[in-house]
């Protein structure tokens, strides 16, 4: 288990089943967009493009929103990439990771998540494998950050 995963697990704490049930999820991954709950406005937002994700990272001061948008932006870069050469594709992912990290200048936690996603993709031997690994890891991490930022409590208070 990586230090990131240990940190996420440590912060998750112990909760019983009744504490984790609410009407809607804070993050919903769809084939062409991400639906995300913004605890600062108590509304849902929809991100459908890389431009929208980056705009949200710049505009929001909410750490959960910024982190989730960065994870989604990176996964979009991977999944929608037209590259067929692995080295060029990895270079594009590294460039996108650097750009997202610049947007997240004051968020070391989010930067670590981006590094984790990039490393998850580099383990694969094919373009499709890289895309799939990054996408699945992004979903897995988004579930963990929902717990890390305790978004379930915000949703329960909203209900």
Instruction: Domains for the chain: give ranges and CATH numbers.
Output: 3-158 (1.20.120.420)
Cα angle value 96/98/102 (rounded, 5°): 115
pLDDT score recorded for residue 71: 97
pLDDT score recorded for residue 14: 40
Query: What's the CA gap between 34 and 143, in Å, rounded?
Result: 13
pLDDT score recorded for residue 21: 39
Per-residue pLDDT of the chain (159 residues; tens, 9 = 90+): 666 665 556 554 444 333 333 457 889 999 999 999 998 888 999 999 999 999 999 999 999 999 999 999 999 999 999 999 999 999 999 999 999 999 998 888 889 999 999 999 999 999 999 999 999 999 999 999 988 888 866 666 655
pLDDT score recorded for residue 18: 34
* Model confidence, pTM: 0.82
Query: How many CB atoms lie under 10 A from the CB of residue 132?
Result: 15
pLDDT score recorded for residue 11: 52
Count CA within 13 A, CB hemisphere, residue 85: 4
pLDDT score recorded for residue 48: 96
């Amino acid at each position: 288990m990586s230090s990131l995963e240990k940190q996420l697990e440590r912060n998750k704490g112990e909760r019983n089943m009744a504490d984790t049930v609410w009407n809607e999820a804070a993050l919903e991954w769809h084939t062409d967009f991400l639906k995300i709950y913004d605890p600062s406005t108590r509304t849902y937002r929809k991100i459908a493009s890389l431009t929208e994700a980056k705009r949200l990272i710049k505009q929001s001061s909410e750490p959960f929103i910024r982190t989730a948008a960065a994870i989604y932006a990176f996964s979009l870069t991977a999944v929608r990439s037209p590259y067929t050469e692995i080295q060029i594709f990895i270079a594009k992912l590294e460039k996108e990771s650097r750009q997202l990290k610049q947007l997240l200048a004051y968020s070391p936690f989010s930067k670590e998540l981006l590094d984790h996603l990039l490393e998850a993709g580099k383990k694969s031997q094919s373009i499709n494998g890289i895309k799939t690994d990054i996408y699945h890891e992004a979903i897995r991490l988004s579930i963990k950050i929902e717990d890390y930022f305790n978004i379930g409590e915000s949703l329960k208070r909203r209900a």
